[in-house]
Structure 1
Amino acid sequence: MRIGRRALLLGAATAGATLARPSTPRLAITGEESVVRRLVAAERRIRVPSGDGPEVAAWTFADEPLPVIRLRQGERLQARLENRLPEPISIHWHGIRVPNAMDGVPYLTQEPVMSGQGFDYDFVPPDTGTFFFHTHCNTIEQLSRGLAGVLIVEGDEVVPHDAELVLVLRDWRIDAAGAFTPFTSDAAAAKAGTFGRLRTVNDRVAPVLDVPAGGDVRLRILNVDATRIAELGVEGAEAAVIATDGNGLPPLPLTSWRLGPAMRLDLTLRAPGPGQEAVLYDYFAPEPVPLARLRGTGPARPDRPFAPAALRPSDFAEPDLARADKLRLTFQTSAIASEIVLKDGQVLRLADNLCLSAATHWAIDRRSWPEQGHQALPPPLFELVQGRSYVIELVNATQYQHPIHLHGLTFQVLDPRQGAVGQRADTVLLGPRDRTRIAFVADTPGDWMLHCHIIEHQETGMMGWFRIT
């Protein structure tokens, strides 16, 4: 078992308890180390909240409800997926710039993994950071049943933190007895989506987590919920944003940060003193919701200025903005008025009705997928040339928020988002009647998906794909 200098605290079962980092098998293959994992998707009875809640018939990839895979930069991941569920599944490695055949999108990059079958995922993640993996079949139900995990690629810290917390935000759509409640409805899918009754961090409700008093703690926060948007802030401690979607940026003092589904946020937090607490809140609610409490333990570290260190950047090709080709994508409802006026006064004139089925609520550039099912592949939204730079303007012509995710790429956000300019991401949150521009180099060939990560929006039309050749 490889143990670093930092303590890994993942979802303390009780105040002060910790989960040790599990042993990770490694094989030397052609001069490089490989991390080998067997992911068996199956129904498992777990307690939600963890430890003291009712039993839930969850779907998970491993016996631990939320498996965490850790790699060092340059290591290969060899993950064997086995499907013991009654329906097809796949694994999408969210935010990882994988070879196209490893991206895990049924019918676009691979055949779905049928019940009783398996699939081997094999790749070397090129970037460090905080990522996750999840099913990409019947996603609204399978993800809500628990079919997700965390993937961390280490090697970006110049100055080590004193401790680390992995904090996974997700709703459980269950009743008081542990039975699942409806995952979706037409009314919810056409609006903001379906929310779960039970909000958890690491499958616990407002857990109390021990941190070294006065130490600098890295918080890896992942929103893996299918629907919920959070506005994160910390009270009782200083904190700074050091990475978005796993990509380092110059440390930015945290006031609050809006985190949509599939987005990740890394913070450096100065832990409170012995016996004192800091609280992670969600302010995107009528009243602030405490998500987790961080309690200082042990002797206090010496008093010193709070000066978070920047992370070591990943090696991304810089887009040539002066020569970049310009594109535009408009995210809209499937039946909309002929004119929409955006905040900046621009008028969009679009078709009154796209003649779509009753189950289709959303569209990208007046096109919806999967109107006739995922396997009925529509034409690509656009085609790109490998090695060329692009700037895409993303326009939200609706009154709802949309976290837009591009597979296969890490892009630069050109317009200010929550106080940061130029942050790198794989998912960007568009507010109502909002727009932003993203830039990237089309560096990996293949057919890549693009969609809203409010999964009910994705599954009712707001998804498409593009090609890099």
Structure 2
Amino acid sequence: MISRRGLMLGSAAVGLVSLAPSAIGQVPASIDTLPPSAPVKRFPLIAREIDWKLLGPGQPATKRFCAYDGEPFKVFRFDRGTRLAVDFENQLPDPTTVHWHGIRVPYLSDGVAPLTQEVIQPGGKFSYNVPLPDSGFYFFHPHCDETGQIGRGLFALLVVDDPAEKKAGYDAECFIVVKDWRLGDDGQWIAMSTDEGASTAGTFGTVRATNGSTVAPRVEAPAYGDVRVRTIVADATRVIDLGCDTEDAFLVATDGQALLPPAHLDKLPDGIWRMGPAMRADVQVRMPEPGKEVKIYDYRSSEPYLLTTLVAVDKGKRKTPFKPKPLPASTAPMPDVSKAKKMEYLLQVSAGPTIVSPALPADDPLSKALVDSLCVGDKTHWAISRDSWSTKDALRLVPPLEQLTAGSSYIVTCTNVTKHVHPMHLHGHVFRVLSSTKKQSMPQYLADTVVVEPNESVQFAFKAASGNWVFHCHILEHMDTGLMGWFRVT
């Protein structure tokens, strides 16, 4: 069992305290989001490399594919209110960490080296305390050399079920994982990042795929039934416009959080839901008569790109009027917008290393930790309000974007003054997207990642939780080359 001290501080406390004399400063309390009495599920988790035939049968196997427990696209499923005690082992040849994307974990289990823990070296082990206070659709992935390790497949899906969701009465469930591959003709990896890509829209894959396959999946579902289509963009770069060829579709959840009331997909701007890397969406689709099909597309491509085909099969179900099936309301803390403090940030191109914050002294312990962690990019291309995250040409930890107070509410306005999309992700929080200067008809919704278009300002609000939390673009090359900051919440 996890000790009371472990619940409060997390297993990374010793590693973090060793860095405390540096620019990290005072260590905030790492507050657990479940009571000590919560049921505990302990399980091992291993990151390792395998060979995998990404190009299909009869094609060369891709070597050095990364997977948790050796299983690509593995789905983990637990009940809400469970605490995961994860005994992680790094069998990769490179350092790594585990970040529990969208989960409200104590920040010392957030996996951001070297801000919340020391990097896990090859052969190393680490115990993560991962409470699951909210139901929803999440995933986990490394937060060190993300472009390389996620690019080679290192992520897994995490579904947190709420018994109350069973009342919604879905007849089937379908997962769509959008993830491209950077492969040469021989099926082997090519460079995951290029200077041109990192400084623009990102370096795209050479092979498009859904659920790891270049052939769009065909999934059978009961005719006249309701299918819960759960889509995730696990790609490091691609932004998609999710839609389908039926009018009988409702958006029911965003980033795992219920959308109340559900939104008719056709009545959203352009009849699609725009999703950047790391974003998830649950769509309720009503199936047609037996033998008919529903096609799920990415409409952002020059030609609609088929993601998945749902095939209606006769299961004896009778046709009924189509109605949305609302999910239980989110259990995440909600901000008090009327009392929120306002903060504004620019998403910018950087002309080089930041001129706002000083570099770390050469003898600073965090300086060596940043170099050893491999958690920094080579060059600086991006900035948040003129400050860029550490890169090898500007090695330092930037000061926090803001010092916040735990339990207080904040409204952030992000304005994108670049020519490229930035899906912005805030660790450890669920926030409410309030408004957009480009999508006035968009309903307010809950998320942990929000797309900010060029020349767009987006407002979102959150209730701050104690810890050191990073805020970054989830186009991973943008993050690697400066587009990341952090909040200290005490």
Common fold: TM-score over 0.5: yes
CA distance in 2, matches of 1:127, 1:233: 26
Check if 1:186 corresponds to 2:195: yes
Q: Secondary structure at the match of 2:138?
A: strand
Q: Secondary structure at the match of 1:322?
A: helix
CA distance in 1, matches of 2:427, 2:344: 17
Code of the residue aligned with 2:234 in structure 1: it is V
Q: Secondary structure at the match of 2:339?
A: coil
Check if 1:413 corresponds to 2:433: yes
Check if 1:295 corresponds to 2:311: yes
Check if 1:401 corresponds to 2:421: yes
Check if 1:108 corresponds to 2:115: yes
CA 228–309 in structure 1, closer or farther in 2 if over 3 Å, else same: same
CA distance in 1, matches of 2:433, 2:295: 29
1:236: how far off? 4.0
1:160: how far off? 2.2
The equivalent residue for 2:98 is 91
Question: Do the aligned partners of 1:274 and 1:300 also contact (CA within 8 Å) in 2?
Answer: no
Q: Secondary structure at the match of 1:204?
A: coil
Aligned ranges for residues 217-366 of structure 1 at < 5 Å? 217-236=227-246, 238-249=248-259, 250-254=261-265, 255-335=271-351, 359-366=379-386
Q: Deviations over 1:2-48 (max 9, x none)?
A: xxxxxxxxxxxxxxxxxxxxxxxxxxx98643333322111101111
The equivalent residue for 2:223 is 213
Code of the residue aligned with 1:37 in structure 2: it is F
Point out the structure with the larger helix share.
2
The equivalent residue for 2:11 is none
Question: Do the aligned partners of 1:188 and 1:194 also contact (CA within 8 Å) in 2?
Answer: yes
CA distance in 1, matches of 2:389, 2:272: 34
Q: Secondary structure at the match of 1:428?
A: strand
1:181: how far off? 1.8
| Mean CA deviation greater in 192-201 or 129-138 | 192-201
CA 101–268 in structure 1, closer or farther in 2 if over 3 Å, else same: same
Q: Secondary structure at the match of 2:477?
A: helix
The equivalent residue for 1:203 is 212
Code of the residue aligned with 1:231 in structure 2: it is D
Question: Do the aligned partners of 2:182 and 2:206 also contact (CA within 8 Å) in 1?
Answer: yes
Question: Do the aligned partners of 2:79 and 2:160 also contact (CA within 8 Å) in 1?
Answer: yes
Aligned residues: 426
Q: Secondary structure at the match of 1:141?
A: helix
Check if 1:152 corresponds to 2:172: no
Question: Do the aligned partners of 1:277 and 1:294 also contact (CA within 8 Å) in 2?
Answer: yes
CA 70–374 in structure 1, closer or farther in 2 if over 3 Å, else same: farther
Q: Where do 5+ consecutive residues of structure 2 fail to align? A: 1-34, 266-270, 360-376
CA distance in 1, matches of 2:257, 2:273: 15
Check if 1:63 corresponds to 2:76: no
CA 30–370 in structure 1, closer or farther in 2 if over 3 Å, else same: closer
Question: Do the aligned partners of 2:47 and 2:70 also contact (CA within 8 Å) in 1?
Answer: no
Question: Do the aligned partners of 1:213 and 1:297 also contact (CA within 8 Å) in 2?
Answer: yes
Point out the structure with the larger strand share.
1
| Mean CA deviation greater in 293-302 or 277-286 | 293-302
CA distance in 2, matches of 1:241, 1:378: 38
CA 50–36 in structure 1, closer or farther in 2 if over 3 Å, else same: farther
Q: Deviations over 1:300-345 (max 9, x none)?
A: 5211111121110122333222221111111100029xxxxxxxxx
Question: Do the aligned partners of 1:107 and 1:374 also contact (CA within 8 Å) in 2?
Answer: no
Q: Which of the residues 418, 429, 441 maps onto 2:451?
A: 429
The equivalent residue for 1:132 is 139
Q: Secondary structure at the match of 2:425?
A: strand
Q: TM-score, normalised by structure 1?
A: 0.86
Q: Secondary structure at the match of 2:289?
A: coil
Question: Do the aligned partners of 2:83 and 2:129 also contact (CA within 8 Å) in 1?
Answer: yes
CA distance in 1, matches of 2:195, 2:160: 38
- RMSD of Structure 2 on Structure 1 (CA): 2.3
Check if 1:455 corresponds to 2:465: no
Question: Do the aligned partners of 2:75 and 2:158 also contact (CA within 8 Å) in 1?
Answer: yes
CA distance in 1, matches of 2:197, 2:358: 21
Q: Which of the residues 406, 426, 435 maps onto 1:386?
A: 406
Code of the residue aligned with 1:87 in structure 2: it is D
CA 32–389 in structure 1, closer or farther in 2 if over 3 Å, else same: closer
CA distance in 2, matches of 1:198, 1:78: 36
1:49: how far off? 4.3
Q: Where do 5+ consecutive residues of structure 1 fail to align? A: 1-28, 337-350
CA distance in 2, matches of 1:60, 1:374: 32
CA distance in 2, matches of 1:433, 1:262: 22
Code of the residue aligned with 1:212 in structure 2: it is P
CA 375–105 in structure 1, closer or farther in 2 if over 3 Å, else same: farther
CA 423–236 in structure 1, closer or farther in 2 if over 3 Å, else same: closer
Percent of aligned pairs with the same amino acid: 41
Q: TM-score, normalised by structure 2?
A: 0.83
CA 298–54 in structure 1, closer or farther in 2 if over 3 Å, else same: farther
Q: Deviations over 1:104-146 (max 9, x none)?
A: 1011111111000011112221111000000111110111000
The equivalent residue for 1:3 is none
Q: Secondary structure at the match of 2:208?
A: strand
1:53: how far off? 4.7
Question: Do the aligned partners of 2:378 and 2:393 also contact (CA within 8 Å) in 1?
Answer: no
Q: Secondary structure at the match of 2:169?
A: coil
CA 355–389 in structure 1, closer or farther in 2 if over 3 Å, else same: closer
Q: Secondary structure at the match of 1:179?
A: coil
CA distance in 2, matches of 1:374, 1:406: 23
CA 75–162 in structure 1, closer or farther in 2 if over 3 Å, else same: same
Code of the residue aligned with 1:122 in structure 2: it is N
